[in-house]
Amino acid sequence: MRRIIIAIDGYVATGKSTTARGVAARLNYLHIDSGAMYRALAWYLLESGIRTPDEAAIQKVLVEFAIHLEREGQEMVVYLGDRRLEKELRQPEVASFASVISAIAAVREKMVAEQQRLGKGGGIVMDGRDIGTVVFPHAELKVFMVADLEARARRRYEELRQRGYEVSLQAVKAEIAERDHRDETRLISPLRRAPDAKILDTTYLTIPQQIDQVVAWAEACIFAPQTS
């Protein structure tokens, strides 16, 4: 059976990673969360005392930054050296700083090269913000996920509360709006829909509905007649 690359891009809190994991499980594909790679670097920089996008300092860290990913089932688990990163990658300050450093050319160059290596050969679902435009511009299926700001803020607010973080809905909404602006206006790999990407509005969709739709699109690609 044909094994394709599925690139899922879109805004924060649209359900990209959860949907990507579900699609990968349904198709027996490998799920790669590109955002986790950037969050791992953000966590490492914060642990190293770097809290601003100081390109010179970050360049030095990139030389020693030893990220590696291991497959566990359908998931890629992130390691820095011998340390497995899980809860560290879910901290709000780490996610916010990851959005900042992802605009730095050297950071994106390193991450994109690693993502392309991992995806070589197909049979993957990768989610992020530039997967269909930069990392895999020739992916057989590209999906761009959107949802209105209120719905996304409510989802992220509930998620953070469940993890034990004391936050206000207004603060979460403001942070998401700021991240949207930063992602859309950065000079390097801005968030944008690839011309051939299918739009999936998740404002009123459940996660199972999102997964069903992407799987249906994927199967249409997988079983489509091949042209010579």
| CB-based contact 202:146 (threshold 8 Å) | yes
Q: What are phi and psi of 84, to 5 degrees?
A: -85, 130
pLDDT given at position 214: 98
Q: pLDDT value at position 118?
A: 83
Q: For each of the chain's 228 residues, which pLDDT tens digit applies?
A: 889 999 999 999 999 999 999 999 999 998 988 888 899 999 999 999 999 988 999 999 888 888 888 877 767 789 998 899 988 998 889 988 998 998 898 999 988 988 898 888 899 999 998 999 999 999 999 999 999 999 999 999 998 899 888 889 999 999 999 989 988 998 888 899 999 999 999 999 999 999 999 999 999 999 988 765
pTM of the model as a whole:
0.85
pLDDT score for 228: 54
CA distances from 23 to 2, 37, 48, 50 (A): 16, 20, 36, 36
Q: How crowded is residue 25: how many other Cβ atoms within 10 Å of its Cβ?
A: 16
* Helix ranges, 66-164 (H): 92-101, 105-119, 149-162
pLDDT at 174: 96
| pLDDT of 74 | 66
